[in-house]
Structure 1
Amino acid sequence: MDFTECYGDTVSSVAAAARSGCSRRVRRLLRRGCSVDGRDNRGWNALHEAAAAGGTDCVREVLSAAGAASPRGRCRYVNSTTHEGESACYLAAQRGHLAAVHLLLREQADADQLTNDSSCPLYAAVDGGHKDVVELLVSKGAQVDRTHTASCWTCLHQAVYKGHSDIVCVLVNVCDLEAPDDHSISPLFVAAQYGRRECLQILINAGARVNTQAADLATPLLIASQEGHEACVDLLLDHGADPNRACSHDWPQLPVHAAAEFGHIGILRRLIAVTDRACDRGVDMVSPLYVAVHGDRTGSTELLLSEGFSPNAQDCTLSLGHRSPLSLALSHASDKPYSESVKLLVAAGAGLREEDWMYALATDRTDLLQLILEHRQMPPSDTPTGDGLALRHCGNTVLELEELRELLCVALNQVHFAACWLPVLLKAGLHPAILLQPHMFEKADSEALNYLLEFINWSTLPLPLKRILDRRRAENSWEPRPHFGSIPSLSHVCRLQVRELLGPDRLMRTDVVQRLLVPSLLHDFLKFRDVPGASFTHPPPSPVFERIRGYRSTHQHRHVL
């Protein structure tokens, strides 16, 4: 029940006079024989009203009237409680009435009496910021380390939480500095969590442990980093807080992860300087890039990459369910526009594996594929890429051989989207001979197949591929362009030879054609810009993540290199 609202018609005349602070009226009513025991709907009597109002004269008058009882009865009256378990001493302490508290204590008020919600006079005075009352109660022997409220906080926890630094100065001399609440959180942890720098300094100076850990292993440095309290982070680090202590049972979370996840750039920059870089690539560790990407914190991602954290972090499939920060970023993007984190990781040279290519190829959109190819080059046919070797070509990182293998494997498993990805890949310098595969010729739609044939000498196709084309034409599943029935023109053969000599990547992505000694009118022709594009006519099927799930279950690897 709610006993906080007072109904006027339930208040006794003596209690009403005590509330107003009129001691003369209280005295007159008592001489007339009015009782001090009457209670209102909240369970308040005249002493409660006098104490809450802070009228010491009214408190004396009421106590004098109650003095006719036995000493035991007088003590019982002084410590009588409201329906919420509040004593007169509690009400006076809660409101900071020092003289009233002092008077009640002389009359044997219990300084440690608990309310229904496990509060007490000292806790109420701390909560209200009444330093003089706190000092009085402490001097009278009030219990300082008892736990209160549902969270089991002590008075020191509450003083820190409220930021009452003057009261913290009093309590650190008498309280247990490491007293835990129900989550094993100490007062210093509370100071770090709520950004109470002055209180934090007092606790540190008093000897509180800066590397204390809560039940979930969180440290004050972690929580201050998470909440963005930069001054507290600096103070903790300056006094020996360990930035490399694991703060989670699930995986080795560090303060740098918290700062990255919540985008606190200033804190992140400070922590990067003191955090062991083993977290970046170490086995059983987790790179901060993962949490930056998970929280979609572009600033954190950009700072980590600029500070040398690798876009190809450790495989965290077991701990986080993702193979790389890029795979995490792509899974968040799904069918939506790709995030800045994706762009930053791709630009930084993040490695691409089969599932990453699925997001680029198993869709009727080409924005991700184009983004990747802006920053990654096709390997020149005469420049092999060794294992783990990231070659630089035309200012961009060259796709490693394994990345190219997996790109083509996914492409051949997503042939029904070839009209979308095929023009992008060929214009990026992919050698068309790689796609002269039976599966491509059998499954690609008519327009996509015609587009591919424009980039080769169709008259010299291997016999098995010619047979597939003849069968499809007979089945009416392929309608060739008219000129495919004749021998390629000399001009087409010449540009194929130019493409072969220069290399498809150089021809399509550089200005090498403009530097050839040929008429400018031929530039577009040599770059195959006269070839009409293929149009995608099929409605897109299920979302990308569903296609990826199906790809995992039905995937058949195709050897293409």
Structure 2
Amino acid sequence: MDFTECYGDSVSSVAAAARSGCRKRVRRLIKRGFSVDCRDNRGWNALHEAAAAGSKECVRDILAAAGGSSRSCSAYVNSLTHEGESACHLAAQRGHLAVVRLLLEAHSNINQLTNDLSCPLYAAVDGGYKEVVELLLSKGAEVNRTHTASCWTCLHQAVYKGHSEIVRILANVCNLEALDDHKISSLFVAAQYGQQECLEILVNAGANVSTQAADLATPLLIASQEGHQSCVDYLLDHGADPNVACSHEWPQLPIHAAAEFGHISVLRRLIAVTDRACDRSDGMVSPLYVAIHSHQSKSVEMLLREGFSPDAQDCTHILGIRSPLSFALCRTSSKPYSESVGLLVAAGASLSEEDWIYALATDETDLLQLILKHRWIPRPETLTRDCSVPHHHGKTVLKLQEVRELLCVALNQVHFAARWLPLLLKAGLEPSLLLQPHMLEQADSEVLNYLLEFVNWSNLSPPLKHILDRRRTEKTWEPCPHFDSVPCLSHMCRLQVRSVLGPDLLMRTDVVQQLPVPSLLYDFLQFGDIPEASYTHSPPSPLSNRLQGYRSAHEHRHVL
């Protein structure tokens, strides 16, 4: 029930006079026999009004009028409002030092609790009234009791409000390790709300910097989460351990909190002191995952720049996430792909079959273009386990397994080939790698013609020629007219040039411009004369369906 609003017609004459601090009127009314104990709708009497108003003289006169005997005066001075407030509480709450002193001399209960478990000391602490706090402490007020529904002590509240001078006083008499209902200490509160001066006072008084709440959170974790740089620095400088697990669910560290909320300066400090096992070890979780989850690209960028692996560890058993890149891809709800995807690809994140599906099983090419911007397709002769080049022209070279998975996905996404085929061939993929029966059987007419323009169509293997002949008979393929002829000498020459230079150098660099040939041939040598196939398919099914379908179709070969 709300007893905070005062109804004017319920207030007694003496109480109204006391509220205004008019001592003469209070005396006159008392002399005329008006009661000092009449209560309004909030349960307030004249003493409550005088105490709240800070009128020491009115309080004295009202107490004298109520005190027929010491016992009756004591009962009156400790009378409570409907919310359980004593006159002493109301005076302390408003910082009326002289009134509090007078009420205590009249035997006011110094530790009386209100309905919401406050008390005079807690009220004075909350208001930041240092002198009232000192008075109450000198008179024996209990300092370690818990108050409010959260079970905070006076020290918790003083820290929360940032009343550093009061914290300094209480730190000498309070239990520094007192905990609230979530097992949070006062030092934890200081770290959470960025109260650095209070934090320093508590640390210097001997408070534990490594205390953990019920959920295992530490002061360092909460300060990192809230971005309080000065508190983070102070805690680290005074022994806080950045490698203590701070969660029951998975080994969360302060570095995860800083990365998740994008506090870059805090993250920079924590990177320097956090064990890198969090980025690599099984059973741990790289901070890259939480940065990606919260779309904090700046955190992702810093972590990668400081050497955190773009692949990290497989967290399938902990979070249901295979890799940072797969997580970034599935976290992208709309195109273009998030900045985090670009950062991971540029940093050399390994590409799985599932990642290639995101790039190839779509009528959009932005992801594939992004990958090819930062990754180099190696020459066919280097596609062995014993021959790999880590970098080429400033780009990371695709590994053998990545190329295999690229081809596997491409050959199973032939209906999107009009989109991805030109990009892959112009990026240096050897076209003969796509001359597979499935490709020739499933590709539409334009796509098939485009692919054949990149090879010597006259010397295809008999099985492949058989497929083409069958499709021609079935009228599912309409070949270009010149496919019935032997390739012209100019086409054979550019095939030979590509064979010598390698498709990667020929298609992706300006090395062709250094050849001793007329400049008019540059575009021809890079197959620029071949028109791309048009894409005419209907909108694809949702990507989640294509991913699931792909998994089902390839369970015998791969576990994705």
Q: Give the TM-score band, short-chain normalised.
A: over 0.9
Q: How far apart are the structure 1 equivalents of 2:458 and 2:556?
A: 29
Q: Superposed, which structure 2 residues align to 1:348-497 within 5 Å?
A: 348-384=347-383, 386=385, 391-497=390-496
Q: Shift of the alpha carbon at 1:385? A: 5.1
Partner of residue 315, structure 1: 314
Q: How far apart are the structure 1 equivalents of 2:442 and 2:422?
A: 17
Matched, 1:129 2:128: yes
Secondary structure in 2 matching 1:382:
helix
Partner of residue 176, structure 1: 175
Secondary structure in 1 matching 2:382:
coil
Q: Shift of the alpha carbon at 1:395? A: 2.2
Q: Shift of the alpha carbon at 1:131? A: 0.7
Partner of residue 340, structure 2: 341
Partner of residue 22, structure 1: 22
Q: Shift of the alpha carbon at 1:384? A: 4.0
Distance 1:186 1:457, change over 3 A: same
Matched, 1:6 2:6: yes
Partner of residue 287, structure 2: 288
Partner of residue 147, structure 1: 146
Secondary structure in 2 matching 1:518:
coil
Partner of residue 272, structure 2: 273
Report if aligned partners of 2:382, 2:388 keep a CA contact under 8 Å in 1. no
Q: Deviations over 1:353-390 (max 9, x none)?
A: 11111111111111111111111111122334537955
> Which sections of structure 2, spanning at least 5 residues, go unmatched?
none
Q: Shift of the alpha carbon at 1:73? A: 3.1
Report if aligned partners of 1:387, 1:400 keep a CA contact under 8 Å in 2. no
Q: Which region of structure 1 is more displaced relative to structure 2, 299-308 or 399-408?
A: 299-308
Q: How far apart are the structure 2 equivalents of 1:365 and 1:21?
A: 78
Matched, 1:331 2:330: yes
Report if aligned partners of 1:335, 1:543 keep a CA contact under 8 Å in 2. no
Q: How far apart are the structure 2 equivalents of 1:387 and 1:41?
A: 89
Partner of residue 59, structure 1: 59
Identity %: 75
Partner of residue 195, structure 2: 196
Q: Deviations over 1:16-51 (max 9, x none)?
A: 010011111111101111011111111111010010
Matched, 1:42 2:42: yes
Q: Shift of the alpha carbon at 1:552? A: 2.1
Q: Shift of the alpha carbon at 1:334? A: 4.2
Report if aligned partners of 2:379, 2:430 keep a CA contact under 8 Å in 1. no
Secondary structure in 2 matching 1:143:
coil
Amino acid paired to 1:30: I
Report if aligned partners of 1:409, 1:557 keep a CA contact under 8 Å in 2. no
Q: Deviations over 1:403-440 (max 9, x none)?
A: 11111111112111111111110111111111111111
Q: How far apart are the structure 2 equivalents of 1:184 and 1:313?
A: 33
Partner of residue 80, structure 2: 81
Q: Which region of structure 1 is more displaced relative to structure 2, 482-491 or 113-122?
A: 482-491
Secondary structure in 2 matching 1:397:
strand
Q: Deviations over 1:139-180 (max 9, x none)?
A: 111111111111111110000000000000111111110111
Partner of residue 92, structure 1: 91
Q: How far apart are the structure 2 equivalents of 1:435 and 1:557?
A: 22
Secondary structure in 1 matching 2:380:
coil
Q: How far apart are the structure 2 equivalents of 1:390 and 1:203?
A: 56
Matched, 1:515 2:484: no
RMSD: 1.6
Q: How far apart are the structure 2 equivalents of 1:388 and 1:434?
A: 18
Amino acid paired to 2:435: L
Between the two proteins, the alignment pairs up a number of residues equal to 558
Amino acid paired to 1:553: S
Secondary structure in 1 matching 2:476:
coil
Amino acid paired to 1:8: G
Q: Deviations over 1:75-103 (max 9, x none)?
A: 22211111111111110000000111111
Amino acid paired to 1:36: V
Report if aligned partners of 2:260, 2:291 keep a CA contact under 8 Å in 1. yes
Q: How far apart are the structure 2 equivalents of 1:139 and 1:354?
A: 73
Query: What TM-score do the two structures reach when normalised by structure 1?
Result: 0.97
Partner of residue 527, structure 1: 526
Q: Shift of the alpha carbon at 1:305? A: 1.4
Q: Deviations over 1:315-338 (max 9, x none)?
A: 111212221111111111144211
Q: How far apart are the structure 1 equivalents of 2:459 and 2:368?
A: 30
Amino acid paired to 2:292: V
Q: How far apart are the structure 2 equivalents of 1:495 and 1:418?
A: 24
Report if aligned partners of 1:385, 1:400 keep a CA contact under 8 Å in 2. no
